[in-house]
Structure 1
Amino acid sequence: MKTTKLNQIIFKCIAALLISASTYAQVGVGTITPDASSMMDVSSTNKGMLAPRMTTAQRVAIATPANGLLVYDITENAFYFYKVSVWTKIDSVVRNNYKLIKSAADLSAELAAGGGTRYLLTSNTLYEINGTITLAQPIELNNAYIIGLDTNEDILVRVGGAIFTGATGGSIRNLTLTAPGGTVFNLSGANTQNLIFRDSIVANSGSVGTISGFGLVFLSVIQYSGNTNGITYNNITDLLMSNLGWQANNSGTYETFTGTFEFIEKQGGFSKVNGANVGINVSSNPTVNIGVLTGTSFSGTSTQFINRYTVGSYTGFNFSKNWTVNCPGIPRESDDVAIGYYNMNGNATNTTFVASNIPSKIAGTTTSTNLFRIESSNNRLTYKGSKPRNFEIICTGTIDHSSGGNRIFTYYVYKNGVQLPSISAERRFPNNDIGNFTIIGPVYMAVDDYVEVWVENQTNSGNTLITKLSVLLK
């Protein structure tokens, strides 16, 4: 009897010690080595940990819940935890119209939708590219939005084929696109389609490709590097390009414009063009209603940064009159720098008068040089820009008056056959005198207005000979 009581006392002491120890020790369930950072470590490869399950009514009825209390609400099929004074729902919020792409296998549904020949994206859906994705077929954007988060690490690769194809637009952002031996863009859409491409890199591709027929194409902050051929834009309503960088390791023609455009604007960025490469090609004479090319730096060893318009451009310049160009490395082109000059030297053609005090256009053959947006014929300069502007006209000449007694001559500038009295000069000549005259003044000219220099004999109707004449319109 005494032995039994002693055993009971010993057992109770051991139990008390165990209970005391467990108060301060870690608990491992399914493991004898719980993690040092945890008070309780549950380990299993085929079972989970089941939290208390209750209805919403039961959950909200819990009296004075502790912060961090966790339950599973079977009414809403969601976990809740208590924080301060609010039950907070724990739920994975899934974005609508969103898909994460970590490999080409993640595009299997899109490949099926494209009949196995292309990845047909779901319209109005954002596709996030994560890592390098090697494509077996081209992508048709179908008005989807495809992005990366790290331009240098999120990469679309297509070897020997096009990356983007089809007749639809969409948005592309924060990606590197590379198509070794292939083409990045092979797009031909209607003018109801728009394409936005920005903050990306196009590298090491056989060709950047072709974009044709879209209503709006907007490119911004794109770096081109190591591409064998550039891109062709064709028949686009509005083409906007901002801060595009073409590195010197590209080859071929970087940008080609063909067809008809309502508006082209290329602003900022640079084109480093070496050897036989060409920065911009407009030699097919595209029809551009308004063209603006400003702030883009052209540099390199190439002798032809621009393959110029063959019709509508002027000697020493590259573009038609519908363009405004102001870029380092190429000639400035705009209406405000329009200029024209002609001269005649050793003229032997007399200027005749029908009567005294009736002016006549100075006769003779003139030679024109330095023409930009101005055309010239004998003693005439015609403004051919796109908008009206003010000019300064400077005329100098030499008159040979060798007979007929003393005479008085007045020299005028005529615009469109009408005298401009404010731009004139008078010169008195004694018999057998040779003298010079100068006329300087402003003249406002609309497109196709022309100016000429006329002379008036105030003394009689005798002929006169203007041996030299120089006229500058600027």
Structure 2
Amino acid sequence: MRTLILLIITLISSGLSAQVAVNTDGSLPDNSSMLDVKSTTQGLLVPRMTSAQRIAIVSPAEGLMVYDLTTGSFWFIKQSVWTELADKSNGLWQVNGSNLFYNSGNVGIGDSDPAAALTVGNGDKFQVQASDGDVTFTDDEASINFPESAGTNSPMIYMFSGGTNNQNRMILAHSPAYSNTGLRYNDLSDLFQFVSNGTVGVNVNPSGAIGINTNAVSYNFDVNGTARISALDISSSLEYLNDAVVSSNNATPLEVRRSQINLSMTNVASGNFLDANFSYSAFDGNPTIIIGNLTTGTGEWYKVQITAFDVTTTSCKFRMVNTASDAITMTGSWSILLIGPK
């Protein structure tokens, strides 16, 4: 009976004060609380139910909380929607200091079925692979835009600042199916190269020299093969190495060859002449023979007039005429130039 009377008095007192303190030390409730539960050996036990029972609650009030036995977690009503109090240690996203990370599966932004570790856009338009960090754009109209660089030493694209020597240090290819065709930087030889099916066609070295069909760029413009030039303005000198082929306006290529002819005369009288034969590889037509400078000579070679005649596609003759007033003896080697159809 005394216990019942004490309980009635406690309830009446609680109703008058509008605050309830549940404790074993008789302390008053905190002024900011309606219910103040205090214990060091026991806890607060909220209603426990299954997910079906929780969802079946009619018109749940904002802030209503229960423990869901099915999910093993607390749920509360927020803006009329059941919201789970998730355990961050078991959630998808994890926190490490000020960092947020996710180690399981793929992440999709605007994509409910991401194909890579990070996918942006419906249809996996932008992908970042987890294994090696490859970045892939699957949209054939995708582009990368860089803002205008204001800094003096601010490159628009900067990559591979270090590392070991690599022939394929950087490749701009047509597509993955043509990975050996495109623009390549080769840091083995420090060259930018235009490559087709793995074969280098054009090399550009750091000095700006361009080599076509040659990896050994020795001149500012170095062509190994036939070149077509519609107009050529030479301000200093023109040099060619070995034989060369030049195309004229009539579309007939002309081959230019350098050679040498050795001639000699012994006691040839004034006004007389001596002929010498000269052979060469075949042209497609009769070449033009130009006699150049004397490279070596003895005797009175300066009194001799030399003329080429009987020119064919494979040979010609040189006539040496004594233009002096007396007999002469001489030997000499002359450089010659042959220009003919090829």
TM range (shorter): 0.3 to 0.5
Rg bigger for which structure? 2
